[in-house]
Chains A and B, each alone.
Chain A
Amino acid sequence: MSADTNSQRRILSILVANRSGVLSRVSGLISRRGFNIESLSVGPTEDATLSRITVIMVTSDTAFEQLTKQLHKLIDVHKIVDLTDENAIERELVLIKVNAPAEQRSEIIEIANIFRAKVVDVGKAALTIEVTGDEAKIKGIEDLLRGFGIKETIRTGVIAISRG
């Protein structure tokens, strides 16, 4: 279903009941209808009875429309917003543990500073860097740090909010 030619990256923001099993219903539906989830994040909202699930995936227009309709059929789904074409604000937090022998530390810290990233831990041979940003920024710092040897990367998954 997701193999159409005009595939593009989509951001879907799904407001759901804050109830046990809901994440499983949503992610189960997405996977059994043949979609791959690139990123998924869940958290409570300003209303304690609701949670928000942000999903990133690559699909065609028709497949995406079908998926949205199927998601709407879940009783626990209250609202679905497609943030893809909204020029939405996108953020992801990433922790990167990078090889950093003493002689290379300052170079790595300089890169971190340029990306407004933070050094959150220093070990004998490694630095852990916390970086927040959209996809392009994360990819940018990752590319630069790769040369030093990335030991481990942990990402929260993308969250997004509309402008205005």
Chain B
Amino acid sequence: MGKAGKTVQSDEAAGGQLMSGAQAIVAALEAEGVELIFGYPGGQALQIYDALYDSQQIRHILARHEQGAVHEADGYARASGRTGVVVVTSGPGATNTVTGIATAYMDSVPLVVICGQVSSSVIGTDAFQESDITGITMPIVKHSYLLQDVADLPRTLREAFYLANSGRPGPVLIDVPSDIAAAELHFTYPDEVNMPSYKPTLKGNPRQIRQAASMITDATRPLIYAGGGIIASGASPELAELAELIQAPVVTTLLGKGAYPASSPLNLGMFGMHGSKYANYAVSAADLVIAVGARFSDRDTGRLASFAREANVVHIDIDPAEIGKNRASEVPIVGDAKGILAALSEQLRKLAHTPRTADWLAQIAIWQADHPFYHPGLATPTGSIAPEGVLDRLSELLDPAASIVTTEVGQHQMWAAQHIQRELPRSFLTSGGLGTMGYGLPAAIGAKLACPDKLVLCVAGDGSLQMNSQEMATAAVSGADVKVLLLNNSALGMVHQWQQLFYDKRYSASLLEDNPNFVKLAEAYSWTAQRVTQPEDVEAALQWLLASEGPALLEVRIDCDEDVFPMLAPGSPLDAVIGAVNIGALDDMIDGKDWCEQDDRQASAWMLAHRAAAKEEAK
């Protein structure tokens, strides 16, 4: 296909300042109000870096690996809601961003990634440090541009920022050949974006909203399923209003953590593979599921065919492609969660809705009392440090209004999601969709630079931390005062757990017995660090970590046989959760399973009785 007609011309008459393409990129970033960017220079990015050298407005954070730079921009974006910006060079610089971009894409994080590229004249010749990054990233970006004319540059930057942080947010990549960066143009930054093929639906269809309201008034066992879309939309107040109004329990996804205050009695927290039994029972027994900004991922639903099998579904999402993708919905509503939830509450007030959920909430309270998370205190029965207990205590010590927690990926991530209580959106940052080990440390650095007044702490595992441990240098040099709580079990814990449960304890390639000395490693990067091995030393060590000056690491030694419970075996129905049992022995697991099946009988007995009562009432 040929080149399109240019819509914007470099226009001398318009009075734009004459500058190079590289200077125009910096001018555009300044016009977008960008103050912080993350990156790594190299041959084809030299002109952009030279232009950045003159910027009074933009601070550049030098990562130690391009993947780190992208996760830092991602952490910055998730913590602040602003678009994260990355600048890297061509070839390996660009390909190193791939995992970071895919992470942001899966979790709908707004990023603009600017890559240097070899000169247009040698593209396609396998030139030094040439890689087709536009082609490589095509499946993992919201949109991408390969600049072909310097005159397109201001419009491209304007569109990229608009695309990244509107509709369903996501990463946008701009590939800048070095001759385009060198070419001159008269720079004027467009105020307006004219993209006829991109018009996200924001306002929900009023008829659908009325239908949802009437479904809510008919429901006796409603439940709100809140995802990351609530946070992207800034819809937490509207979510709380609706939940209160209809007195419905709220379950959250991993990315929805913080969208609704943990302290609310209606909040059942995370459900799904490692969610609480009570949250999973509630989803399984609900007669109406109101999904908001959530995508029915396999980690949430378990076996899709039996997911919320009693329930009608109202699905609110800004991305029409999410609606009906995994679970069909009775009432689909496309648009921005904030406005739709407000309109839904408004409609329900008009209907003078009075909730009939007292029985439902009472039953859930029984499930909550019967099946709490495992809170062992700081010591396990075998005398080792209990990771759940450490995180329970950490949660008590953190001020939820003044702290951000990031995680790496694995067992520690699930324990953190279960045990660290969050009250506010943008206070729990984790790689949910892609499950990227190596995300947590750089994301913490980005979050700290976005929110310098907050305490930013990364809960890490020994496997994950080593995937981007070089970013400890970035933290030290940039002054990002982050804390790392390292739960070191000398294993790839989640792999180990699956091998224990599903692969006959054949621990193939999951033991990390020859880990480095993490305290010394941290100290080598000018961090302060401590290690604890005994439960009685944990309290003082946590106090030390939170009070420390500058970046600090606390290594907590735990046993590799500690498993994350409850757990839903992949592909199982939600109410077939493996019990929240004591750790260590497979015998206990089997006990747990029996216990769970018994629970299921209890749960279904309750549902049968409830239905019988409802029928009586109908008569």
Residues of A within 8 A of B (CB): 17-25, 28-29, 32, 42, 44, 48-49, 51, 62, 65-66, 69-70, 72-78
Contact A73-B3, Cβ < 8 Å, known A17-B197, A20-B148, A28-B139: no
CA distance A25 to B197 in the complex (A): 15
Q: Across the interface, do B143 and A75 meet the contact criterion of CB distance under 8 Å? A: yes
The contact of B146 among A21, A23, A76, by CB within 8 Å, is A21
Scan B1-40; emit 1 where CB is below 8 A from any A CB, else 0: 1111100000000000000000000000000000000000
Q: How far is the CB of A65 from chain B (nearest CB, A)?
A: 7
- The residue in chain B whose Cβ has the minimal distance to the Cβ of A51 is B1
Q: Across the interface, do A17 and B325 meet the contact criterion of CB distance under 8 Å? A: no
The contact of B197 among A21, A48, A51, A76, by CB within 8 Å, is A76
CA distance A29 to B143 in the complex (A): 13
The contact of A73 among B134, B139, B195, B321, by CB within 8 Å, is B321
Contact A18-B1, Cβ < 8 Å, known A66-B325, A75-B198, A76-B197: yes
Q: Across the interface, do B138 and A48 meet the contact criterion of CB distance under 8 Å? A: no
Q: Across the interface, do B146 and A18 meet the contact criterion of CB distance under 8 Å? A: no
Contact A18-B324, Cβ < 8 Å, known A25-B138, A28-B138, A75-B143: no
Q: Across the interface, do A75 and B197 meet the contact criterion of CB distance under 8 Å? A: yes
Q: Across the interface, do B324 and A21 meet the contact criterion of CB distance under 8 Å? A: no
A74: B residues at CB distance < 8 A: 143
Judged by a CB distance under 8 angstroms, whether B265 is at the interface is no
CA distance A65 to B3 in the complex (A): 30
Q: How far is the CB of B113 from chain A (nearest CB, A)?
A: 16
Contact A65-B1, Cβ < 8 Å, known A20-B148, A75-B195, A75-B198: no
CA distance A25 to B138 in the complex (A): 7
Given contacts A19-B1, A75-B197, 5 further A-B contacts (CB under 8 A): A17-B4, A20-B3, A32-B139, A66-B324, A75-B195
A22: B residues at CB distance < 8 A: 1
Judged by a CB distance under 8 angstroms, whether B163 is at the interface is yes
Instruction: Count residues of B near A (Cβ-Cβ below 8 Å).
Output: 23
Judged by a CB distance under 8 angstroms, whether B72 is at the interface is no
- The residue in chain B whose Cβ has the minimal distance to the Cβ of A19 is B4
CA distance A23 to B138 in the complex (A): 12
A66: B residues at CB distance < 8 A: 321, 324-325
Q: Across the interface, do A21 and B198 meet the contact criterion of CB distance under 8 Å? A: no
Q: How far is the CB of B199 from chain A (nearest CB, A)?
A: 11
Q: Across the interface, do B197 and A49 meet the contact criterion of CB distance under 8 Å? A: no
Q: How far is the CB of A93 from chain B (nearest CB, A)?
A: 20
A17: B residues at CB distance < 8 A: 4, 197
Judged by a CB distance under 8 angstroms, whether B196 is at the interface is yes
Number of A-B contacts (CB under 8 A): 55
Q: Across the interface, do B1 and A49 meet the contact criterion of CB distance under 8 Å? A: no
A19: B residues at CB distance < 8 A: 1, 3-4
B4: A residues at CB distance < 8 A: 17-19, 49
CA distance A42 to B142 in the complex (A): 23
CA distance A76 to B134 in the complex (A): 14
A42: B residues at CB distance < 8 A: 1
CA distance A65 to B332 in the complex (A): 14
B198: A residues at CB distance < 8 A: 75
- The residue in chain A whose Cβ has the minimal distance to the Cβ of B159 is A75
Scan B137-153; emit 1 where CB is below 8 A from any A CB, else 0: 01100110010100000
Judged by a CB distance under 8 angstroms, whether B320 is at the interface is yes
Q: Across the interface, do A21 and B134 meet the contact criterion of CB distance under 8 Å? A: yes
- The residue in chain B whose Cβ has the minimal distance to the Cβ of A75 is B143
Q: Across the interface, do B1 and A23 meet the contact criterion of CB distance under 8 Å? A: yes
CA distance A44 to B4 in the complex (A): 11
A49: B residues at CB distance < 8 A: 4-5
CA distance A25 to B173 in the complex (A): 14
Q: Across the interface, do B324 and A65 meet the contact criterion of CB distance under 8 Å? A: yes
- Give the interface centre of B4, B146, B325 by most chain A CB atoms within 10 Å: B4
- The residue in chain B whose Cβ has the minimal distance to the Cβ of A73 is B321
- The residue in chain A whose Cβ has the minimal distance to the Cβ of B143 is A75
Q: How far is the CB of B6 from chain A (nearest CB, A)?
A: 10
CA distance A21 to B320 in the complex (A): 24
Q: How far is the CB of A129 from chain B (nearest CB, A)?
A: 30
Judged by a CB distance under 8 angstroms, whether B135 is at the interface is yes
Judged by a CB distance under 8 angstroms, whether B319 is at the interface is yes
- The residue in chain A whose Cβ has the minimal distance to the Cβ of B3 is A20
B146: A residues at CB distance < 8 A: 20-21
A69: B residues at CB distance < 8 A: 320-321
- The residue in chain B whose Cβ has the minimal distance to the Cβ of A69 is B321
The contact of B1 among A20, A29, A32, A77, by CB within 8 Å, is A20
CA distance A24 to B139 in the complex (A): 10
Q: Across the interface, do A24 and B197 meet the contact criterion of CB distance under 8 Å? A: no
CA distance A142 to B435 in the complex (A): 52
B148: A residues at CB distance < 8 A: 20
Scan B187-216; emit 1 where CB is below 8 A from any A CB, else 0: 000000001111000000000000000000
Q: How far is the CB of B329 from chain A (nearest CB, A)?
A: 13
* 16 interchain pairs, CB-CB under 8 A: A17-B4, A17-B197, A19-B3, A19-B4, A20-B146, A20-B148, A23-B1, A24-B138, A25-B138, A28-B139, A29-B139, A48-B5, A70-B321, A75-B142, A75-B163, A75-B197
Q: Across the interface, do A18 and B2 meet the contact criterion of CB distance under 8 Å? A: yes
- The residue in chain B whose Cβ has the minimal distance to the Cβ of A48 is B5
B325: A residues at CB distance < 8 A: 66
Q: Across the interface, do A78 and B197 meet the contact criterion of CB distance under 8 Å? A: yes
- The residue in chain A whose Cβ has the minimal distance to the Cβ of B198 is A75
B142: A residues at CB distance < 8 A: 75
The contact of A77 among B3, B138, B197, by CB within 8 Å, is B197
Q: How far is the CB of A4 from chain B (nearest CB, A)?
A: 13
Q: Across the interface, do B319 and A73 meet the contact criterion of CB distance under 8 Å? A: yes
B1: A residues at CB distance < 8 A: 18-20, 22-23, 42, 51
CA distance A21 to B467 in the complex (A): 33
CA distance A69 to B334 in the complex (A): 12
A75: B residues at CB distance < 8 A: 142-143, 163, 195, 197-198
Q: How far is the CB of A59 from chain B (nearest CB, A)?
A: 14
Q: How far is the CB of A63 from chain B (nearest CB, A)?
A: 10
